[in-house]
């Protein structure tokens, strides 16, 4: 299956511009020294402006309506890294270390307006409840789906695909479903696939671990680490599609729901 | 303690590097499977593609930039073309030996309040059954999946806030991982741990300072044994036939102030021979009873089977930090020989049982006392090399004295508990030497002088070479028979590491870390 990796979960806003370097962080810390406890920018105009910023900086991962995707669903009104205005502000400002969510250099006013919009999204109080049966999904995961061959949960399973131990914390339901039926729709850079054809004509497929102009390093489908000089092979092809097969045809609608429910239930320690 | 913090999982490649491969490490010189290359502590490569005739054409093949300000003391492992190295404090990288490109990187988060006496360093890894093992500066032993870098388990050995730290490469023996502990300057009570390689569960622990239930208890004044040091911060050796692990122990604490620790202070500054299955003590030898000079016995023990005084014996060779070279029968611990290998001014000699006869006025004082060797010793943690082809032991040596002083020592958990130190002696800036020694006698056959006392070890090869590096960052090759300087490469940064050699796609490489760069050399 295709999900992005990450050691810790990322529960809140993703994609707010470039991550701050150390110097930048010092600058932003100084800028945020006298941060008020509550959001001073909450008017309808602020919310509207915040919506625009959100579309530009956050929606790519959290969805245009905050419904979640690669990033978590923001319409539930629950925030893992703290729900006070000040905590929300700092989460957006600093990002979540160890996850895909970066910090931002946006001005205080702009961050506050985003918070105002996020609050509005959270008022929906939506429940992200999976329709399927997680227990049945677990059986599918371990049996018919053959997922542990490539993915690990709580240390058990393969390493060709991302670790799924906390995937239920990090991904919205719709993204989980999309990953099952259309794995190529969003491939994390760490899990790009490549095919190498040797001069003798044999083909090696695997996940790209590293490459430069002269060589490429793969984890092949058997889990072995492989390195090739590009001038010693016939072809190196970086694939657009995922190594993970689509389960659109393999699973019924009910089975897909069950599997999504199981994945959504994975919220353990890494 | 030693609680396992993460459930273990299945390991891909669990069939790779089984114990049988480690036992026969000498038979696959294309790999470097453990810290010293084999269980005997040889740091010897049977590869001979690079020799005295062609070493002049040795070229840099690739570098790996660690981008760290910590000292890089790592000895990498190489398994079937993949090099595994630690990057300080406790990251691990898997590198393609042909290109120097990384396959994966593991990052171990280190708490901000770690106090390691001598920097947040790490000397390397062990491997067994597809798992890599590393000690961490926050006193954990961890296991990674060698193919993916995934964390499999981590076992807490001790409380790092009390000064315990893991810096040595572990040693994989049978189904266990043997790991020492650092912290001899912080009033720890040292130990050697054996943990189950598959789960991290601790199987045995040997305390280097005996407790009240031990027949060897009673060599410390009052309760001073509780904070007596005896760290175990360099990788030991193993004799599978005798089923004994040999591990050197560190200084008593406080290092330089002995006012409240009268007695021999067992088992500090000792060699201990432990049963590999149980951790039970088979024999011990204390080099420097009641040490006041910080002369840890944590030099790599070299296990060689040689003719000694007319008969074949299983020997343990040990150039000790106190300036004397020692030979033992490693079956019984019988002391056979000692001989100074650097200038020493602290002992009148060594008696028939191996106990030194200290000279008066050589212990530290408030005003300071000049003594040779210095606190860092004749040899420190960095490795010697035994070459079975030349039959010689090569030792990188610090020819340097220091002015030893003492100050008050008060124990506070996690705080320095040294009680003094060694200062540069303006009359003697010191220098370095690579010695070639006949191991049965300690006779020195040749000396290669270096400008500065070194902090890096040597590797000898079947190609008749001895590789080493200087404090100025010159990586060099000497003729193993004559000591003649055959080649050098100006890496131009301080060197705190040991070299290794292996095959990459059938071609011999020699690798070492200098500065914060790991570099591999080979013939074009």
Chain A residues whose CB is inside 8 A of the B96 CB are 215, 217, 225, 227
Question: Please, are residues B90 and B68 in contact by the beta-carbon 8 Å criterion?
Answer: no
Domain shared by A82 and A33, yes or no: yes
Please report whether residue A29 resides in a domain. Answer: yes
pLDDT at A2 exceeding the cut of 70: no
DSSP SS3 for A229: strand
> CA B480 to CA B456: how far, in whole Å?
17
> CA B159 to CA B188: how far, in whole Å?
10
pLDDT at A26 exceeding the cut of 70: no
Residue A46 CA to its chain's centroid (Å): 28
Q: Which residues pair with A236 in a beta bridge?
A: A196
Please report whether residue A142 resides in a domain. Answer: yes
B90-102 per-position pLDDT tens digit: 999 999 999 999 9
Contact across the interface for A217 and B103, Cβ inside 8 Å: yes
**β-pair type (B459-461, B44-45):** parallel
B457 burial (CB, 10 Å; 0-12 / 13-18 / 19+) is: buried
Domain shared by A107 and A159, yes or no: no
A164 contact B CB<8A: no
Ranges assigned E (strand) in B57-106: 58-65, 77-79, 82-87, 91-96, 102-106
Contact across the interface for A154 and B104, Cβ inside 8 Å: no
ipTM of the complex: 0.83
Question: What is the pLDDT, as a whole number, of residue B2?
Answer: 45
Q: What is the CATH number of the domain that holds A177?
A: 1.10.760.10
pLDDT at A10 exceeding the cut of 60: no
Question: Please, are residues B282 and B290 in contact by the beta-carbon 8 Å criterion?
Answer: no
B478 to each of B54, B102, B430, B443, B500, how far by Cα in Å?
12, 31, 21, 19, 15
B435-458 per-position pLDDT tens digit: 999 999 999 999 999 999 999 999
**Greater confidence, A75 or B58?**
B58
Chain B residues whose CB is inside 8 A of the A159 CB are 12, 145, 147-148, 150
B316 contact A CB<8A: no
> pLDDT band at B5, cuts 50/70/90?
low
B103 contact A CB<8A: yes
Contact across the interface for A219 and B99, Cβ inside 8 Å: no
B9 contact A CB<8A: yes
Contact across the interface for B98 and A158, Cβ inside 8 Å: no
pLDDT at B13 exceeding the cut of 70: no
What's the average model confidence in pLDDT over B368-388?
Answer: 98
B14 contact A CB<8A: no
pLDDT at A153 exceeding the cut of 70: yes
Of B6, B101, B152, the CB nearest to A217: B101
Question: What is the pLDDT, as a whole number, of residue A100?
Answer: 81
> CA B254 to CA B158: how far, in whole Å?
20
Please tell me the total count of domains within chain A.
3
Q: Which two tokens stand for residue B96?
A: 């393609």
Domain extent for A56: 22-122
DSSP SS3 for A133: coil
A169-228 per-position pLDDT tens digit: 888 888 899 999 999 988 888 899 999 999 999 999 999 999 999 999 999 998 899 999
Chain A residues whose CB is inside 8 A of the B82 CB are 225
Chain B residues whose CB is inside 8 A of the A209 CB are 102-104
What's the average model confidence in pLDDT over B72-81?
Answer: 97
Contact across the interface for A223 and B12, Cβ inside 8 Å: yes
Contact across the interface for B148 and A157, Cβ inside 8 Å: no
Please report whether residue A111 resides in a domain. Answer: yes
What does the CA dihedral B31, B33, B38, B43 come to, rounded to 10 degrees?
70
| CA angle A54–A58–A60, rounded 5-degree value | 120
B148 contact A CB<8A: yes
Of A156, A223, A225, the CB nearest to B9: A156
What's the average model confidence in pLDDT over B392-411?
Answer: 96
Domain shared by A218 and A174, yes or no: no
Q: Which two tokens stand for residue A137?
A: 């999904």
Chain A residues whose CB is inside 8 A of the B152 CB are 155
**B175 assigned to active site:** no
Cα-only R_g, chain A:
21
CA atoms lying within 13 Å on the CB side of residue B260: 18
**Greater confidence, B426 or A127?**
B426
B317-363 per-position pLDDT tens digit: 999 999 999 999 999 999 999 999 999 999 999 999 999 999 999 99
CATH superfamily to which B19-104+118-301+314-523 belongs: Quinoprotein alcohol dehydrogenase-like superfamily (2.140.10.10)
Question: What is the pLDDT, as a whole number, of residue B296?
Answer: 98
Instruction: Name the percent of chain A lying above pLDDT 90.
Output: 55
Of B9, B94, B104, the CB nearest to A152: B9
Ranges assigned E (strand) in B410-480: 420-424, 431-438, 443-450, 459-461, 465-469, 474-479
Contact across the interface for A159 and B94, Cβ inside 8 Å: no
Question: Please, are residues A77 and A122 in contact by the beta-carbon 8 Å criterion?
Answer: yes
Domain shared by A162 and A67, yes or no: no
Question: What is the pLDDT, as a whole number, of residue A16?
Answer: 35
Q: Which of A162, A232, A179 is nearest to A204 (CA)?
A: A232
- Check residue B385 and report its DSSP letter: E
- Check residue A95 and report its DSSP letter: -
CA distance A52 to chain B (A): 37
CA distance B250 to chain A (A): 37
pLDDT at A28 exceeding the cut of 70: no
What's the average model confidence in pLDDT over A25-37?
Answer: 66
Question: What is the pLDDT, as a whole number, of residue A6?
Answer: 31
Instruction: Give the residue on A whose Cα is nearest the Cα of B8.
Output: A155
> CA A205 to CA A192: how far, in whole Å?
11
B24 to each of B21, B33, B365, how far by Cα in Å?
5, 10, 50
Contact across the interface for A217 and B9, Cβ inside 8 Å: no
Which residue bears the tokens 């660690």? Answer: B66
Task: Select the residue from B103, B145, B153, B520 to test the A interface by mutation, using most A Cβ atoms within 10 A.
Answer: B103
Chain A residues whose CB is inside 8 A of the B94 CB are 225
pLDDT at B77 exceeding the cut of 50: yes
A155 contact B CB<8A: yes
> pLDDT band at A1, cuts 50/70/90?
very low
Of A152, A154, A159, the CB nearest to B147: A159
Average pLDDT of every residue of chain B: 96
pLDDT at B387 exceeding the cut of 50: yes
Contacts of A207 (CB under 8 A, 6+ apart): A160, A190, A191, A192, A193, A194, A218, A219, A243
> pLDDT band at B313, cuts 50/70/90?
very high
Domain shared by A74 and A113, yes or no: yes
Chain A residues whose CB is inside 8 A of the B9 CB are 152, 154-157
Question: Please, are residues A115 and A85 in contact by the beta-carbon 8 Å criterion?
Answer: yes
Q: Which two tokens stand for residue B231?
A: 């760290």
Instruction: Give the residue on B whose Cα is nearest the Cα of A229.
Output: B99
Ranges assigned E (strand) in chain A: 152-153, 156-157, 193-198, 203-211, 215-220, 225-229, 233-238
Q: Which two tokens stand for residue B280?
A: 């039970």
Task: Select the residue from B5, B93, B100, B104 to test the A interface by mutation, using most A Cβ atoms within 10 A.
Answer: B104
Contact across the interface for A157 and B10, Cβ inside 8 Å: yes
pLDDT at A25 exceeding the cut of 50: no
> pLDDT band at A22, cuts 50/70/90?
very low
Which residue bears the tokens 């990384």? Answer: B102
Q: Which of B145, B239, B258, B294 is catalytic?
A: B294
Chain B residues whose CB is inside 8 A of the A229 CB are 98-99
Determine phi and psi for B151, rounding to 5 degrees.
-70, 130
Cis peptide before B89 (omega within 30 of 0): yes
- Check residue A48 and report its DSSP letter: H
Contacts of B131 (CB under 8 A, 6+ apart): B11, B14, B143, B144, B145, B146, B152, B197, B198
């Amino acid at each position: 299956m295709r999900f992005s990796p990450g050691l810790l979960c990322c529960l809140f806003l993703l994609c707010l511009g470039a991550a701050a370097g150390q110097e930048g962080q010092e600058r932003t810390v100084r800028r945020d020294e006298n941060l008020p406890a509550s959001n001073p920018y909450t008017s309808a105009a602020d919310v509207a402006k915040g919506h625009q910023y959100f579309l530009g900086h956050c929606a790519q991962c959290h969805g245009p309506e905050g419904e979640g995707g690669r990033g978590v669903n923001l319409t539930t009104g629950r925030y893992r890294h703290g729900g006070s205005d000040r905590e929300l502000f700092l989460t957006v400002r600093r990002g979540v270390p160890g996850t895909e969510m970066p910090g931002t250099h946006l001005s205080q006013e702009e961050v506050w307006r985003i918070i105002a919009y996020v609050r509005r999204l959270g008022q929906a109080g939506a429940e992200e409840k999976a329709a399927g049966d997680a227990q049945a999904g677990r059986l599918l995961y371990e049996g018919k789906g053959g997922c542990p061959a490539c993915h690990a949960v709580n240390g058990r399973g393969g390493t060709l695909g991302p670790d799924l131990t906390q995937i239920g914390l990090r991904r919205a339901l719709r993204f989980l479903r999309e990953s099952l039926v259309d794995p190529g729709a969003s491939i994390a850079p760490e899990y790009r696939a490549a095919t190498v054809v040797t001069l003798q004509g044999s083909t090696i497929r695997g996940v790209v671990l590293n490459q430069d102009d002269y060589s490429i390093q793969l984890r092949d489908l058997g889990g072995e680490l492989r390195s090739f000089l590009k001038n010693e092979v016939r072809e190196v092809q970086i694939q657009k599609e995922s190594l993970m097969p689509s389960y659109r045809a393999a699973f019924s609608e009910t089975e897909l729901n069950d599997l999504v429910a199981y994945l959504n239930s994975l919220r353990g320690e890494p | 303690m030693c609680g396992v913090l993460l459930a273990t999982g299945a390991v891909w490649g669990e069939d790779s590097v089984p114990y049988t491969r480690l036992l026969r490490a000498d038979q696959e010189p294309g790999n470097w499977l453990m810290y010293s290359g084999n269980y005997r502590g040889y740091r010897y490569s049977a590869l001979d593609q690079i020799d005295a005739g062609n070493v002049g054409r040795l070229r840099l093949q690739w570098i790996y930039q660690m981008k760290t300000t910590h000292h890089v003391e790592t000895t990498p492992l190489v398994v079937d073309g993949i090099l595994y190295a630690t990057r300080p404090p406790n990251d691990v990288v898997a590198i393609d030996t042909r290109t120097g490109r990384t396959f994966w990187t593991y990052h171990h988060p280190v708490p901000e309040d770690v106090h390691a006496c001598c920097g947040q360093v790490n000397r390397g890894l062990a491997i067994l059954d597809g798992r890599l093992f590393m000690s961490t500066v926050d006193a954990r032993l961890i296991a990674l999946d060698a193919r993916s870098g995934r964390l499999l388990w981590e076992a807490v050995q001790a409380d790092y806030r009390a000064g315990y730290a893991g810096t040595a490469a572990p040693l994989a023996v049978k189904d266990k991982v043997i790991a020492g502990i650092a912290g001899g300057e912080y009033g720890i009570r040292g130990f050697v741990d054996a943990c189950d390689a598959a789960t991290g569960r601790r199987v045995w622990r040997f305390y280097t300072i005996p407790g009240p239930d031990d027949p060897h208890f009673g060599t410390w004044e009052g309760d001073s044994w509780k904070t007596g040091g005896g760290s175990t911060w360099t990788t030991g050796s193993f004799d599978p036939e005798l089923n004994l692990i040999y591990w050197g122990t560190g200084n008593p604490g406080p290092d330089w102030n002995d006012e409240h620790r009268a007695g021999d202070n067992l088992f500090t500054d000792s060699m201990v021979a432990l049963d590999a299955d149980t951790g039970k003590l088979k024999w011990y030898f204390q080099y420097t009873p009641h040490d006041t000079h910080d002369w840890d016995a944590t030099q790599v023990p070299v296990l060689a089977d040689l003719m000694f005084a007319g008969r074949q014996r299983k020997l343990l060779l040990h150039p000790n930090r106190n300036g004397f070279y020692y030979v033992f029968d490693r079956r019984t611990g019988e002391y056979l020989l000692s001989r100074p290998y650097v200038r020493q001014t602290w002992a009148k000699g060594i008696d028939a049982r191996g106990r030194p006869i200290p000279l008066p006025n050589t212990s530290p004082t408030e005003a300071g006392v000049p003594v040779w060797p210095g606190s860092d010793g004749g040899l420190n943690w960095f490795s010697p090399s035994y070459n079975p082809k030349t039959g010689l032991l090569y030792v990188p040596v610090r020819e340097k004295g220091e002015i030893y002083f003492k100050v008050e020592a008060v124990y506070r958990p996690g705080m320095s508990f040294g009680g003094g130190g060694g200062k540069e002696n303006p009359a003697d800036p010191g220098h370095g030497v690579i010695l070639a020694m006949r191991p049965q006698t300690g006779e020195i056959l040749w000396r290669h002088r270096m400008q500065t006392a070194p902090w890096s070890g040597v590797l000898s090869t079947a190609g008749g070479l001895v590789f080493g590096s200087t404090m100025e960052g010159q990586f060099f090759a000497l003729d193993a028979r004559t000591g003649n300087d055959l080649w050098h490469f100006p890496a131009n940064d301080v060197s705190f590491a040991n070299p290794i050699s292996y095959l990459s796609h059938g071609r011999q490489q020699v690798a070492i870390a200098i500065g914060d760069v790991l570099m591999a050399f080979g013939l074009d």
